[in-house]
Structure 1
Amino acid sequence: MAHNEIQNKDNAPSKSNVLNSDVVTKNTQIASSSNHHFTINKFYIVSFIVLGFILFFVIFYLPQSVVQPKLESDSKVFMAKEMRKPIDESPWHQAQLAKHRKTSQQILANVLEKQSHLENLHIELWAKNEFKSALEIAQKGDLSYRSQEFDTAISLYTETLQALITIENKIPEMYKKYLAIGNNALDNSNSSIAIDNLKIAMYILPDKIEAQEQYDRALVLDKVLSFAKNGKALMHDQKFEAAKDMFTQALSLDKQSPINKELLSEVNTKIKNRNYSKAMSQGYINLNNKKYDLAVKYFTSAKKINSESGDPQNAINQAKNEKTQSKILVYLSQAKNLELQQAWHTANQKYQNALSLDPSLIDARIGKMRTAAKNKLKLEMQAIIENPMRLSNNNVYLEAKSTYIKATKIKSPGSHLKKQISLVKLALKQSTSDIKIQIMSDDLTTITIYQIGNIGHFTNKQLTLKPGEYTIIGSRNGYRDVRKILTIKPGSQNNVISLKCNEKITNG
C-alpha cells in the first residue's frame, strides 16, 4: 500500500517523502527476494511430478503394450514361408561372372606378356604412338573389369592384344628400316645419326649380329676418321711408316673402313719400292753368314712388299735348300758317330731326321735299316738276358735261339754286342741244364708236381728239374691240401722245399 501511495503522490522534495522512499525501497527488496524463492521451489515441484509420471508409464503401462512375436510351431509352414522368401544372390549369375572374369584375366595375362616383351625392346623409341594407343584401350578394359562388365573388358583386352601383336609383326620391318638408316649414316660419316638408329635396331632385334657390328663401327667412326686425316697429312710429308701406322690403327678399330683400306693400300705402294731393295739386301747378307732363318725372313718380307717379283721366292727357295742340306749333313755325321758308339736307337733317329728332310737319301735309308736291325737284336738279347726264366717255355726258347744265331752272323758286332751274345749263349745253355732239388715231407702227405705228376709220399726225395716255375701240391685224407710254388733259376743250388699237410679238417 505504501508503494501505491508513493506512485499517486507528487514528487515533492520534503523530508517525509525521502523517508517514504527508503521504506519503499526496503519493501521492494524483500518482495523481490520472496518471489525468487517461490520460483525455484515451483521448478523443483514440476520436475518431480514429470519424473514420477515417466516412472509410472515405464513400470505399469509399457510392459502391457509390448506385442509378443508369434512363434511358428508348425515346421512345414515355416519351411514354406522360407521358400517364398526372395534369394539375395543368383548362383548361375555368379558362375557366369566368374567365368568371364577368368577369361578376361587370361587375355590380360597375354597382354601383359606382350607389353613386357615390347618394353624390353624399347618400343618407346620405334612405335611409341601405336603402343600408347594400345595401352589406352587396355585402360578402358580395366574400367569395365572393375565395373564387372566382363564382356566389354574381354573385347577391349582382345583389341589391345591384337594391337600389340600387330606391332610385334612389324619388328622385322622396323629392324630393316633403322638398320638401313644407320648404315647410310655410317657410309656418309655421320656418327651420331648412325649410333642412334643402329642402337634402335639392336633394341628391336638384340640377337642380330649385323646391327651390333655396325653399331660398334659407328662408335669408333669419329676416331677412325681422325686417324685417316692424320695419316693423309703424314703421307704428304713422306712419313710413310707413320702414315701406315695411322691407317693400321684405324683398321684395328674398324676393319671394314673403306677409306682406310684404300689409304693403307696407297701407302704400301709408296713404301714397297724403298723397302724391297733393303729387304733383299739384308736377306743375302744373312744367307752368306749361314743364318738361314733370318735370310728367309727378309726374303719373305721382300716378297710381301712386291709379290709380283719372282726374285724373293727364288731367294727363299735357295735359303731353305741350303738350310736343308746343312741339316742333312749334320744328321748324317751324328748318326755315324752314334753307330761307332753302338747307340743304335739314337743313330736310327738321326737317319730318320735326315730322311724327313730328303726321302731320296740312299745313305740315310741304308743306315736306318742297319741301325734298326741292330737295335732290334740288341733289345731281343737284352730281354733274354734279363728274363732267363722265360726260356723254360719251349716257344720262347726257340725264339731266343734264333736271335742268338742272327747275332753270331753279324760282322764286326762291337764290344757291347759281343758281350750280349756271350750272355745269351750262357742263358740258353743253363735253361736246358738239370737242377737238383730236394723235397721233404712226412711220408703221410701225397706229393704232386703239376708239370710232372704224382710222385708219392715220402720223407725225403731228390729230383732233377730244368729251370722254371713248378706248382707242388700236398694232399692227405682228413687234412687240408697244401700248395706251394717252386721257382728253379738257371744255375741255382740248394733248392730245398718242405711240404706237409698239418691242418686237420673238422666236421661241423
Structure 2
Amino acid sequence: MLEKKLEQASQASVKDRRRIVAITSFVLLCAIAMVMLISGLDDQAPLLPASEPQASSQQNAESELRNQFMQRLQAYEAEVEADLSSANLKKWDQPRDIEITTVKDEAISAFAVGAYASALGSLIRLETLAGQALAARDSMFASEVALTRQAVNADDYTQGKLHISKALLLKQDDEQAQVLEAMVEKLPELLSLLKAADVAAIENNLEKEHAAVAEAFNIAPQRQGLKERRDALHDKIRESRFTALIAAGLLSLEKKQISAARRNYAEAKALFPQRSELKVLKQGMISVADELDLKQTKKKVKKAIDEDQWQTAEQLYAQALQRHPEEKAIRDGLQLASRIVALQRDITDYIQRPERLASANIFAAAEDKLIQATVLTAYSRSLAEKSGALKDLLASMSVKIPVFVKSDNQTYIVVKGVGKVGLTHGREIALKPGVYTFEGSRSGYRSKLVQVRLPVGKPALQVEVVCDERI
C-alpha cells in the first residue's frame, strides 16, 4: 500500500518536473533567440538542444535516488520497523518514538513532492535513529534479564516479577525471557514446596517430604541439591509408593501451562500464511468458530445436566476439551461429571451385589463412596437416590440374622473367616448378611463344607452340618 502511494506521489512529481523542464527549455530558447537577433550570429543554433541532455541527466539522477529510497524504505519497514513495533518503544522512550515517526513522515513527504535527495537523507537519519533505539532496547533487555536471574537465584519473586515484566515489554517473543518468566511464576510454589519438605523432614514424614521435594524438582530441576535430596529419599520409601509419586508428578507435568503454550504456538504458526490480510481473516474466522462451538457445547451440557444425564454430559465435556484444551470451565465440568458418573456406577454395583458388603474392606469402601457422594448429591437426583438406597443397605447389613446350627454333637464346626461353633446338637449364632462357609470335621470321617447365603432382611435360617461319611 505504501509503495503504491509512493508511486502515485512519484508519478505526480514526474509530471510536475516535466512541466518545469518544458517551461525552462522554452525560456532558454527564447533567450537564445534574442541573443542571436542582437548579435547576428548564425552559428548559435546548435546550442538550442543542449537543454535536453541536461534534463535527461537530471532525470536519471533523480530516478536513481527515487529507486534507492524505495528499496531502502521497503527494507526498513520489513526488517527494522517490525522489530521496533515489538519493542514497544512508545512505552519506555516516547520522545524517541515521536522523533522516529516524525522523521519517517518527513521522508515520505519529501518523496511525495519529488525531493528525492532530501527524502533519502531523512530515511538515512531514520535508519540511524531506529538502530540507536534497538541498540538501547537490547542493552536494557540484557540488563533486565540479568537482574531477573539474580532475583530468581535469590528466591526474590517480587524483584523477579518486576524485571521480567520489563524484559518482556522490550522483547515479548524472546524464548529466553519466556523461560525466565515461567521460572519466576513457579518460584512461590517452589518455595512453598521446599518449606513443606523441611517441615516434613522435622516431622520425620518421609513420604510427605519426598512428595514435596519431587514436585519441587519437577518445577526447578536446575536447582542445586534437589536431585540429590530426592534420590536420597527415594531409597527410604517403598518402591510402590515411590512409583505412585512419580506417576502423580508426571500427571502434574502434563498439565503445566507450558504445554498449552506450545500447542498454541504450533497452532498459531500453522494459521499464519504469507499474506497478512489472509492471516488476520483466517484467525478471526477460527476465533468466531471456536466461540460458537463452545457456546453450543455449553448449551447441550446444560440440557443434559438438567435432565440428570451425567454420562451424556461427561461425553460432551470430553469432546469439548479436545477442541478447547485451555477452557477451565470445560475441564472443571468434565471433572465433576466424571466423579458423579463414577460414583453412580460404584454405588449401583454395591446395591446390585449386596453380599460383597459382608467384607469389612468392601463395607468401608462403600461408606467412603457415600461420603464422597454427599457433596455431589445436590447436582444429581439419581445420585442422591442411589446414595440413600446404599445408606439403607449398609444399615441393614449391620443387623445380624439368627442362624440355628444343627449337628450330632460329634462334628466340630467352624464358620470360616468368622469363628468356631464347636460340638453341639444345636446352637443359635448371629451373622451379618453375606455368604458364609460352615466346615465340619470329625475324626475318621470326611470333612463337610456347607455354604450358606444370608440375604438382607432374612428373619432366621437353619443349617445342618454333620460328618457322616467314613474315610
Please indicate, yes or no, whether the TM-score normalized by the shorter chain is above 0.5.
Answer: no
Which structure has more relative contact order (CA 8 Å, sep 6+)? It is 2
Q: Which of these two proteins has the greater Rg computed from alpha carbons? A: 1
Normalised by the length of structure 2, the TM-score is 0.39
Output the TM-score relative to the length of structure 1.
0.36
